[in-house]
Amino acid sequence: MQNLAILFYKNGFNCSQCILKAAEKKFNISLPQEAIKMCSAINNGFGVESICSVLVSCIMVLGLIFDAQTAKSLRIKFLNDFNLKYGSLNCPKLKALNNKNKNTNCEEIISGAANILEKIILLNKAQKKI
């Protein structure tokens, strides 16, 4: 899912849209074009230096794939895992981390979030089959 998300990002989708598009392809989710369009205003910490919008779209994907109760518990796991790796859920702090590491955009954050999300989804789906 990481490579797909970065491919969509490099092709002009914003950070939240590229996660949805990657999940759509990877997990064969049927998303109406309106879902992608809705995310056109969800980027850059919602424009007010708030939560990273990549995280918002990852949680949206959990809601698309799992029932509400499972999605809520996986949401906590996802946010904890992401925060443990990057030390923040806040867009400006994550961008500062990128700048410190000489990245000029959010590719590392998108890639890392997509990786964490995919692992959580695949692990949970495997556990449900047992």
Q: Answer whether residue 130 shows pLDDT above 50.
A: no
Distance CA 15, CA 129 (A): 32
Rg for the chain (alpha carbons), in Å? 14
Give 19-52 pLDDT, tens digit per residue.
999 999 999 998 989 989 988 888 776 767 778 9
Cα distances (angstroms) measured from residue 67 to each of 32, 72, 86, 89, 113: 19, 9, 28, 24, 21
Number of residues that this document lists for the chain = 130
Distance CA 115, CA 99 (A): 21
Euclidean distance between the first and final Cα of the chain, in Å? Answer: 24
Q: Dig out the tokens for 39 from the structure.
A: 């995310």
Give 68-110 pLDDT, tens digit per residue.
999 999 999 999 999 999 999 998 888 887 666 655 468 989 9
Are 120 and 77 contacting, i.e. CB atoms less than 8 angstroms apart? yes
The residue segments making up the domain with residue 33 are: 2-129
For residue 42, how far is the Cα from the chain centroid? Answer: 12
Are 105 and 44 contacting, i.e. CB atoms less than 8 angstroms apart? no
**Total domains present in the chain:** 1
